Amino acid sequence: MHLIQTRDDDGVLELRLNRPERLNALSLALARDLLAAVREGVADPAVRAILLSGEGRAFCAGKDRDDLPTPAFVDTLQALASALVHAPQPVVTAAQGWVVGAGFEIMLNGDLVVAARGARFMLPEVQVGLFGTGGVAALLPRLVGLQKAKGLLMLGQELSATDAERWGLVWQVVEDDALPAHALALARQLARGSPALLAEVKRLVHREQLGDFDATLAREAQVHARLQGAVAAIRPREIDHIVLRVTDLDRMLRFYCDALGCSVEKRQEKIGLVQLRAGRSLIDLVPVDGELGRTGGAAPGREGRNLDHFCLRVEPFDEATIRQRLQAHGAEPGPVEQRNGAEGEGPSIYVSDPEGNVVELKGPPQG
């Protein structure tokens, strides 16, 4: 269950994102579940305050990078923003760890934020050529001022919890281990207030400060759609792995492990392959006299080569789109096959560049 819902006797509805292994990154399914839960809570007269939280080391690391970007995802985020901003109940957000992209924007949709001292805030959409969602164009400048808002949106750089409090993004910063109790106590304090009065406070403040918020959401969605169409169909995220053809495996292992600090991740003696872990990436060593190595031609040297191929982790991984784009540029991609990479086994496509170097394009791990 990726969304945990609880309600206490004070009428506090807590909606907890529960994908800690993905830093609570939002898939379309989770975003839809959160939207449905917010709408149900708003419509329930027994709910007097809403608390948004995240399980584990992060509140929300934004959109799940392995989920294909779709108009439905943006539509869901905009509907969620509208539901939270227009909710008559006060909305408290407990923010710890990474609060990134869509997670940052959901936080802005609430009313009061309690942040852990170790929290980090970022709007990185500009780094992939996109604009934010969730009414950030209206909310952010009113919270931090025009210049700081443009800086956060244009630079995509990280902001500490201390700076977020100083800039007016959060109500209170507490020690990391005190966050759950403080956020719940604040939500309960609000739940004990007059529902009609708190609803009027929200309505009037939002009307005076945000204007037609839903019109802002619509304009954001239009800009997002235009930019999404302009973004490259293939977006390299990082180098997943490289494959080196080697003549002296033991010597290479000593260099990469002892000198450079890599570690052996996997050995496949039968086919002749040793995988080394280098941070988030892999270096595959393939002896030229092994089963794999013999298929690659001459050994490294003046007439041979030592780079078999390198692999780019790309997103989104959509076979039809990738194939169409490569063919439009005169390249002929190979078939999609399941191959191992730094994150595990997943779909990949081989293609050669104009000078014969082989590039593997790899999608997200499966299973």
Angle at 126 between CA 157 and CA 100, to 5 degrees: 55
Q: How many CB atoms lie within 10 A of CB 32?
A: 18
| Count of C-beta atoms within a 10 Å radius of residue 294 | 12
Q: Which helix (H) or strand (E) holds 76?
A: helix 71-86
Enumerate the β-bridge partners of residue 13: 7, 50
- For residues 63 and 130, the answer to whether their CB atoms sit within 8 Å is no
The rounded distance, in Å, linking the Cα atoms of 48 and 333 is 56
Q: What is the pairing mode between strands 307-314 and 236-246? A: antiparallel
Kind plus residue range of the DSSP H or E element containing 269: none
Secondary element (H or E) of residue 41: helix 28-43
Task: Tell me how long the chain is.
Answer: 367
Strands, E, within the chain: which ranges?
3-7, 12-17, 49-54, 91-95, 98-100, 112-116, 120-122, 159-160, 172-174, 236-246, 263-268, 273-278, 281-287, 307-314, 337-341, 344-352, 358-362
Catalytic residue ranges: 125
C-alpha of 92 from chain center: 22
Sign, CA torsion 315/317/318/319: positive
User: How crowded is residue 198: how many other Cβ atoms within 10 Å of its Cβ?
Assistant: 18
